Structure 1
Amino acid sequence: MDKRMKAKIVRDALQMALCRRKMPRGVMVHSDRGSQYCSKQYKALVAKHDLTPSMSGKGNCYDNACAESFFHTLKVEMVHGESFTTREDMRRAIFEYIEVDYNRSIRHSANGYISPMAFERKMVA
């Protein structure tokens, strides 16, 4: 998270995810159509690691239901109605929600109704 949505932040996040997962190849990466995901540098990183980008079609949020569902869940269950004292407090709370709650326990229909972490383990095995 940063004060502005620049291409560098999404490249850094993708690089971190790749490193944490021992540089997988051929996996799908979901995103929206934000300019940071359309940048030459981001596209180059996706291509370098043989990833498959998944973006919604222009004006059609249903094309990328996985990403849209995640952000809806994050906003409704974590952010909506909360009051954060600092940006760092918000960053910490969102990180904890994603890494502890969402990835480990939220079941998603696109994953066969298992959590993202369980799905990842199943696909790696």
Structure 2
Amino acid sequence: MFEKNKARYGHRRVHRDLVTAGWRVAKKTVLALMRRLGLVCLVRRRRRYNSFKGQVGKTAQNLLARNFTATAPNRKWVTDVTEFGIAGRKLYLSPVMDLFDRQIVAYSVSDSPNLQLTNSSLQQALTTQRPGHGLLVHSDQGFQYQHNSWQALLTAAGATQSMSRKANCYDNAIIENFFGHLKEELFHHTTFTSADAFTTALADYINWYNNHRTSTTLKGLSPVQYRTQTLTA
């Protein structure tokens, strides 16, 4: 189970998946056996990209107010930008996450943290998910989200904009947590020789994250499993 999930699971997740599979085993036993076998989960190192450049456009109130739960899909989305150093160059990731099941519903990658990066991920999410009116989209106060092009996309979709307070990453903690897992479980312990190699691995990771990575918040299910089970119940 540890190897199947590419050394990204600690003893708690391994234990939960064993129990789900029908095993009767104590969490401390799993921890002891993993230590004996040298199965060490990857360790997180945090480094946050900051897109705030002052007030360059229109900002919005923090309507999300750290209420990171949603009762149905496409009610609350969160987004942000993070940076990677790949083979001597910078790459930037802009994902859109649905807080209903913590699924990454769209993302874009670029060598520049420009308007096209963020607008394309939002447009992709709007096109594939087709949310109705009443959607709340939350971000930080990065210059991309203050721009009228981003706000025009939201207005056309009937969505409401929400922004974190200035320099307060906890107001967007769930997407920050995703970035932490992504860098812990994929980026910091792999050497990528090209941008193409990284984007291929990133696509594989997001597919695994959405379809297979289990979470206690989602009752031990992956985002896709949680959405499917909840909507068919």
Length-normalised TM-score, structure 1? 0.79
Aligned to 1:101: 208
SS at match of 1:47: helix
Aligned-pair identity (%): 35
Q: Which residue of 133, 136, 142 maps to 1:34?
A: 142
Runs of 4 or more, structure 1, over 4 Å off, are 111-114
How far is 1:86 from its partner?
A: 1.1
User: Could you list the per-position Cα deviations for residues 73-120 of structure 1 after superposition, in whole angstroms to 9, with x for gaps in the alignment?
Assistant: 11111111221111111111112211x2111233263x5664332454
SS of the aligned residue for 2:154 comes to helix
In 2 relative to 1, CA 54–4 (structure 1 residues): closer, same or farther, beyond 3 Å?
same
TM (norm. structure 2) is 0.46
Residue-by-residue CA offset, 1:30-84 (whole Å, 9 max, x unaligned): 4343222222111111222123444432121111111111111111111112211
Question: How many corresponding residue pairs?
Answer: 122
- The alignment's C-alpha RMSD in Å is 2.5
Note the 1:35-54 alignment, pairs <5 A: 35-54=143-162
Higher helix share: 1
Counterpart code for 1:117:
V
Distance 2:205 2:117 in 1: 19
Paired with 2:158 and 2:232, the residues of 1 have a C-alpha distance of: 16
Unaligned stretches of 5+ residues in structure 2: 1-108
Instruction: Name which structure has the greater RCO, CA cutoff 8 Å, separation 6+.
Output: 2
Q: Which residue of 2 aligns with 1:71?
A: 179
